[in-house]
Amino acid sequence: MDFEWSVGTTPWSRPSKVVWSILGYLLSIGLISKLPLTAKKRVASFKPFEVLVSMHSLFLCLGSLAMFLGGVAAYVHEGRKGGTFDFLVCKEFADTSRGSIYFIGYLYYLSKYVELIDTVILAFKGKSLSVLHVFHHSVMPVMCWLWLEQRQSLQEIALLTNTGVHVIMYYYFFASAIGRPPKWKKLVTLCQIIQFVFSFTMGLVYVCVRLKRQKACSGEFSLCVNVGINAIFLTLFLQFYNKASNYDRRPRPHKKSA
C-alpha cells in the first residue's frame, strides 16, 4: 500500500486541526449543557435523533471490527514480509510512517473524531458528563496523532486491544439504543480496565526489550506520554467501576403491598 503519513499533506494531519477540533468539542458540549433540560429532552425524543444514536453506535461497532481484522491482516503481512514480528514491540527508526500498518493507524486516528459524537449524544440526553468521559475523548486524538507522527512502538498492539474492546462496547450501545440492552453492562467497563492493565504489561515487555537492545526504539517519547495517560485512564476507570459496583450492591427499598 502506498499510504504515507505526512503532516500538512495527509488530511487532518496538521496539529492545528487537532487543537481546534478538541476546542470545538469542548465548546459544543459546554453550550449543550447550558440548554434547558426540556429543550434537550425534546431533541433526544426526536425520531431522527434516536436513529442517529443507533446508527452511530452500529457504525463504530462495525468500524472497530473492520479495523481489528484489517490490523491483524496488515500486521501479519508486515511480519511475513520482514521475517520478524519484532516491530509489534520495538520499531526501528524510520523517516516516514508508510504502508498498510500505518494506514490502519490513520483510520483509527480518524475514528477518534467520530467518537466525539458520543459526548454530544449524552449531553442531549441530559446525562452528567464524567471527568473520565470528557478527558478520554479529548486526549485520544492527540495520542493517536503522536502514534503516527513519531512511529510509536506498541501502537499496533494498542490498536488491536482497543478496537477489540470497542466492538463489545459499541455493540452494547447499539443494542441499548434499539431498546434491547444486554445484561452485561459492567463487562464493558471491566474489558476497558483489562485493556489498560494489558497495556502496562506490554510496557514492561518494551522495557525488557529496550534494556536488551541498549538503545531506544522508535517513538519512545510518545510511548512514555501514552503510559502516563493510560495510568490516568486506569485510575478513573477503576473509580467508575467501583462506584457502579457499590451502587448495584445498595439495598433496594421494598415495595409496599397493596
Instruction: Count how many Cα atoms sit within 13 Å of the Cα of residue 72 in the half-sphere of its side chain.
Output: 8
What's the pLDDT at 242? Answer: 75
- Rounded to two decimals, the pTM is 0.89
Q: How many distinct helices (H) and strands (E) make up the chain? A: 9, 2
Mean pLDDT of the chain: 90
What's the average model confidence in pLDDT over 135-139? 92
Residues 99 and 151: their CA atoms lie apart, in Å, by 12
Residues 228 and 220: their CA atoms lie apart, in Å, by 12
What's the pLDDT at 130? Answer: 85
Residues 48 and 37: their CA atoms lie apart, in Å, by 19
Residue 76: alpha-carbon gap to chain centroid: 23
Question: Helix crossing, 100-114 with 131-150: angle to 10°?
Answer: 160
Structural domain boundaries in the chain: 4-245
Q: Any idea what the Cα angle at residue 138 is, between residues 222 and 42, rounded to 5°?
A: 165
Residues 256 and 258: their CA atoms lie apart, in Å, by 6
> Is the pLDDT assigned to residue 201 strictly greater than 80?
yes
What's the average model confidence in pLDDT over 190-196? 86
Range of lowest pLDDT (95-99, 220-224, 242-246): 242-246
Residues 140 and 132: their CA atoms lie apart, in Å, by 12
Query: CA torsion sign, 188 to 190 to 193 to 194?
Result: negative
What's the average model confidence in pLDDT over 192-215? 89
> Over the stretch 65-78, which tens digit does the pLDDT of each residue have?
999 999 999 999 99
> Over the stretch 46-67, which tens digit does the pLDDT of each residue have?
889 999 999 999 999 999 999 9
What's the pLDDT at 257? Answer: 44
> Over the stretch 72-99, which tens digit does the pLDDT of each residue have?
999 999 999 989 999 999 998 888 899 9
